[in-house]
A and B are shown apart, each in its own frame.
Chain A
């Protein structure tokens, strides 16, 4: 296999992988889950790996039990909440149902926390949540662009190599230009 062909194939593979990575960098994931917060000082949390310029939004409904408190924390604040039970959420609401939305400019992880309200620690609560994550996954976008670029560059190089190979190749026995065979004479005239 000659050099131009190898570059062409590798370039095509890189472009395909790059395109796959690019498509993967624009997810729009919606999930629905149900969970139970046991009685006592328990809480339930969802981790949302946020994307560049990403957002998490959705709604929740208590299907059995008392209203819940819903909070969204950044990672440092969640660590505080986990250790002390006290932290500053970027979003908070409470009730038997509700909607929520939070955005973070950079990348990172947001934590959606569901906990008993202060007067309902003794009860069990069943809740259903539907949430959507949107944004751009930099971890896929940048490699995707690089791979597509590299693939295109290899394709361009393969064309150059191909031209050089053609220019240096010995003449082919197969005709490559319009040919007039010897001893031809126009029809109707004497050969």
Chain B
């Protein structure tokens, strides 16, 4: 059966050993594919510190972009830099607003070897989108909330109904 693309969350930020990593989240009827777009070396730069460190972090950041509408889910899933979670292995999704006003998404799932795994990511809208909306007069808080709610709607459509029922959603 052909895999159908359900939706796209363009930016999910996860913490990595050397700094934050940015993923695009492609939702299909079979799996969630976290596509690595940007891996920061901020951890290295932080050790160097200060303005120079920040400049190095900027320079050391690699970004790749996709036109997801044209992208093949199978190809993306095979890329080792990406993270793939089968929809049938998802046990629960948790969406919550943190004290700092950010929106966090947690995916609880079982790995191929049956172990319980957890993925934590922050739903931060892309900088271009945030800047454009702010230029149009929108408040950051509102943009973040809208982005999180739209992401949630897409996730609800993608995951199996039983998972959607068991999950914790933003109200």
Binding site for B on A (CB under 8 A): 12, 15-16, 19, 162-164, 166-167, 172-181, 183-188, 191
Contacts and interface: CB of A to CB of B under 8 A. Distances in A.
10 A-B pairs with the lowest CB-CB distances in the bound complex, closest first: A178-B150, A176-B129, A179-B8, A180-B7, A181-B5, A167-B135, A184-B6, A175-B10, A163-B135, A166-B131
Contacts of A177: 10, 125-126, 129, 147, 150
Nearest to B52: A16
A64 to B, nearest CB: 49
A187 B161 contact: yes
Interface residues of B, number: 37
Interface of B: 4-10, 24, 29, 51-52, 55, 65-69, 87, 125-126, 128-129, 131-132, 134-136, 147, 150-151, 153-154, 157-161
B23 to A, nearest CB: 13
B134 to A, nearest CB: 7
Contact of B65 (A174, A180, A187, A188): A174
Main secondary structure of the interface of A (DSSP, over half): loop
Nearest to A177: B129
Q: Which of A167, A172, A177, A179 has the most CB of B within 10 A?
A: A177
Contacts of B4: 181, 183-185, 191
B121 to A, nearest CB: 14
Contacts of B9: 178
Nearest to B149: A178
B166 to A, nearest CB: 15
Nearest to A162: B131
Contacts of B158: 187
Contacts of A12: 51, 55
Contacts of B157: 180, 184, 186
